[in-house]
Amino acid sequence: MLEIRFHGRGGQGAVTSAELLAQAAISEGKFAQAFPSFGPERRGAPVLAFARIDDHPIRLRQQIYEPDVCLVLEEALMHIVDVESGMGPKGIVIVNTTTPAAKLRKEYKLDPKRIIYTVDATTIALEGLGRPITNTTMLGALIKATGCVELESMKTPLDNRFGKIAEKNLNVLTRAFNEAAAEEA
């Protein structure tokens, strides 16, 4: 089972990202779930969302405490949240940033064994959507890092959620897939 924790801020679309990913996985015949974790947070406050994907029915109904992957919609969150919390030694951290992975590793004291993917999702979103909303953009990097679903499987969930702007969202997702870069220690 692949367990993913999404780190974002209220209004950035972390919950939407988890839901879209789960819908794509289900369309491929996999089992998936997506759910948020937030209380009285307001726009801009840190929020968590979670997704699980498996080839078998998922019986767990709890928050993800030991994620395989952490997706960070905004690097600034790493100053206030321990994005690696609970991750095993083979975890993957995917960050929306212009900072090189080696500098991220040093600045945030990330596990030296961790695989880090970086992508400038903000610029991609601004250029492709006209707004710095990075949720669908970051899904491209997630798909590249994990292969959890096929890129083509995102089309229908995006169409259903975004209607007229679905194509733009698919374009930024695909661009992030192509531009995301990995650094292994």
pLDDT of residue 32: 98
pLDDT of residue 124: 98
| Confidence (pTM) | 0.94
pLDDT at 156 over 90: yes
Structure tokens at 181: 């870069």
pLDDT at 41 over 80: no
Read off the pLDDT of residues 51-72 as tens digits, 9 standing for 90 and up. 999 999 999 888 999 999 999 9
Q: Which CATH class is domain 2-183?
A: alpha beta
Written as one string, the DSSP assignment of the chain is: -EEEEEEEETTS-HHHHHHHHHHHHHHTT-EEEEEEE-SS--TTSEEEEEEEEESS-----S--SS-SEEEES-GGGGGTS-TTTT--TT-EEEEE-SS-HHHHHHHTT--TT-EEEEE-HHHHHHHHHSS---HHHHHHHHHHHH--S-GGGGHHHHHHHHGGGHHHHHHHHHHHHHH-EEE--
User: Could you tell me the strand order of the sheet in which 115-119 lies?
Assistant: 31-37, 46-54, 2-9, 69-72, 92-96, 115-119, 181-183
pLDDT bucket at 27, cuts 50 / 70 / 90: very high
* Domain ranges for the chain: 2-183
Read off the pLDDT of residues 97-121 as tens digits, 9 standing for 90 and up. 999 999 999 999 999 889 999 999 9
Structure tokens at 26: 């289900």
The residue-averaged pLDDT of 115-136 equals 96
